[in-house]
């Protein structure tokens, strides 16, 4: 069964600090991996997307890494801000576009809280 | 370009009733996917529609159904509501962005509470 496991489940950090969220997946074959940010009561918003051939992708203070051999990804947040408080969800696609959108496998998410 | 819109945003129903949720994708997007999100299960795929045809379906009972209209707007229906159907229902509008790549945009969701 395709699975995506995220850790930690929740994390509390102080404003200005860095943090790293982890995502391990068993989805195979694998096409791409995406990190979403979901604010409370809102829909998820895409932060980064990486194909199996990419190792890293940045979006401002967010940097995602991917190791397709070990099936692990991480999301590193630099100089955290209060607005980074949200749920971060790792999503893995098993196939290339076309009819595969519905086969996305979602992680449970990591709830990040940034305190002043 | 307007984003994905979902109506209503909040809904309270009682057990046994049925409910219809609506989703309007981004203009030009023909693929609409529906997801159920609960604290215990996270995001779970319900179904996907493309050009008025259901293209994929998740592992949900037949009480959950959907359809898509010619203007790409989509509705999902849940009949004989159960307490466990209380969740945030998210709609996503998807477009192919390149080889092995797509862009998926989520709406704000409909918060359904079943009492």
Q: Sorting pLDDT into bands at 50, 70 and 90, what band is B1?
A: low
* Pairwise CA distance, residues B56 & B2, whole Å: 26
3-state SS, B56-74, equals EECCCCCCEEEEECCCCCE
The answer on pLDDT for B67 being more than 70 is yes
Alpha-carbon distance B63 to nearest alpha carbon in chain A (angstroms): 19
- Give yes or no for B108 touching A (CB within 8 A): yes
> Cβ distance B85 to B14 under 8 Å?
no
Q: What is the pLDDT of residues A11-53, one digit of tens each?
A: 999 999 999 999 999 987 777 899 999 998 889 999 998 988 8
Q: Please, which residues bridge with residue B65 across strands? A: B77
Q: Is the pLDDT of residue A96 over 90?
A: no
When pLDDT is cut at 50, 70 and 90, the band that residue A105 belongs to is: confident
* Contact across the interface for B90 and A43, Cβ inside 8 Å: yes
Q: Are A48 and A64 in contact (CB under 8 A)?
A: yes
> Mean of the per-residue pLDDT values for chain B?
92
Chain A environment of B103 (Cβ under 8 Å)? 46
* pLDDT tens by residue, A60-69: 999 999 998 9
Interface A:B, Cβ pairs < 8 A:
66
Judge: B111–A41 Cβ closer than 8 Å, yes or no. yes
d(CA A78, CA B15): 46
Model pLDDT for residues B25-65, shown as the tens digit of each residue: 999 888 999 999 998 788 899 999 999 999 888 889 999 99
Residues of A in contact with B44 (CB under 8 A): 106
> Sorting pLDDT into bands at 50, 70 and 90, what band is B80?
very high
Residue A97, pLDDT > 70, answer no
Cα gap A82→B55, rounded to integer Å: 40
Four-residue CA torsion sign, A31, A64, B41, B49: negative
User: B15: pLDDT confidence band, cut at 50, 70 and 90?
Assistant: very high
Residues of A with CB under 8 A from a CB of B: 31-32, 41-46, 49, 51, 89, 93, 96-99, 101-104, 106-109
Residue A115 has pLDDT above 60, yes or no: yes
The span from the CA of B68 to the CA of A99, in Å, is: 16
Q: What are the start-end ranges of the H helices in chain A?
A: none
In chain A, which residue's Cα lies nearest the Cα of B89? A43
């Amino acid at each position: 069964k395709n699975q995506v496991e995220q850790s930690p489940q929740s994390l509390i950090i102080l404003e200005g600090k860095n943090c790293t969220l982890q995502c391990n997946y068993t989805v195979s074959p694998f096409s791409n991996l995406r990190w979403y940010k979901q604010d409370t009561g809102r829909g998820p918003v895409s932060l980064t997307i990486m194909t199996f051939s990419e190792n890293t992708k940045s979006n401002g203070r967010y940097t995602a890494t991917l190791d397709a051999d070990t099936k692990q990804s991480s999301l590193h947040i630099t100089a955290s801000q209060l607005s980074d408080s949200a749920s971060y969800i790792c999503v893995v696609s098993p196939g290339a576009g076309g009819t595969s959108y519905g086969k996305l496998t979602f992680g449970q998410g990591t709830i990040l809280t940034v305190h002043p | 370009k307007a984003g994905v819109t979902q109506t209503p945003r909040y809904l309270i129903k009682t057990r046994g009733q049925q409910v219809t949720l609506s989703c309007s994708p981004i203009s030009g997007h023909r693929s609409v996917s529906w997801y159920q999100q609960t604290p215990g299960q996270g995001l779970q795929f319900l179904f996907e529609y493309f050009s008025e045809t259901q293209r994929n379906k998740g592992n949900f009972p037949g009480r959950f159904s959907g359809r898509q209209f010619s203007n790409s707007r989509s509705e999902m229906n849940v009949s004989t509501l159960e307490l466990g159907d209380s969740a945030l229902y998210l709609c996503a509008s998807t477009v192919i962005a390149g080889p092995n790549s797509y862009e998926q945009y989520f709406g704000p969701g409909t918060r359904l509470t079943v009492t």
